[in-house]
A and B are shown apart, each in its own frame.
Chain A
Amino acid sequence: KNEVEQSPQNLTAQEGEFITINCSYSVGISALHWLQQHPGGGIVSLFMLSSGKKKHGRLIATINIQEKHSSLHITASHPRDSAVYICATSGGGLTFGKGTHLIIQP
């Protein structure tokens, strides 16, 4: 069974700061997902990646398969980025980390 660990658990930053959220997992995977859960509870899939790097707007996700590690970066952070960010590994159903609670203060 895959163990998925995220850090930090909580993160508060000022608007404009560069944000990094880390995720590590214990066994090999076919893909890793980054999800965003808003205060209202809805879940949005941000990225699915199996190698290298993906970019969408101010969000960048990277993965190192050999080290079993992924990072999610947010550039020029904004208060609307405040949410819980969750990494998850594929294997039929997803196995989730506990999430990172991000607050961006204006």
Chain B
Amino acid sequence: NAGVMQNPRHLVRRRGQEARLRCSPMKGHSHVYWYRQLPEEGLKFMVYLQKENIIDESGMPKERFSAEFPKEGPSILRIQQVVRGDSAAYFCASSGQGTDTQYFGPGTRLTVL
């Protein structure tokens, strides 16, 4: 039973480009969470999604960031017009229905040049 998958593991973008980060939850999990860890800082919640729905996006920056979890396929975190301050590790986690236990993916390290 594969764990939470994230790709790419490392992503380099130049300022102004778009970054797309993908997360495939554990089999049978319908809840996905995205977190960001800035260099030398703690983890911060960004967004919580269920299939085709955004449940809580209170941690998402108001501009340039969006997330989706379509009926088919992985969850996508999209960052438009990246800036150097977006450089961070982005983790997703998934959980099953009716449980609080979250399983983390390996993370995507985004570097903005």
Contact, CB under 8 Å: B100 / A42:
no
C-alpha gap A94/B93 in the complex (Å):
10
Contact, CB under 8 Å: B100 / A31:
yes
Q: Per DSSP, are chain B's interface residues mostly helix, strand or loop, or mixed?
A: strand
Give the interface size class of chain B.
20 to 34
Look across to chain B and name the residue whose beta carbon is closest to the beta carbon of A94. Answer: B45
- Among A43, A48, A86, residue most surrounded by chain B Cβ atoms (within 10 Å): A43
Which of these, B58, B89, B102, contacts A41 with CB under 8 Å? B89
Q: A52-93: which residues lie under 8 A (CB-CB) from chain B?
A: 86, 88, 90, 92-93
Give the interface size class of chain A.
20 to 34
CB contacts (< 8 Å) of B38 on chain A: these are none
Q: Check B47 for interface membership: any CB of A closer than 8 A.
A: yes
Contact, CB under 8 Å: A98 / B42:
yes
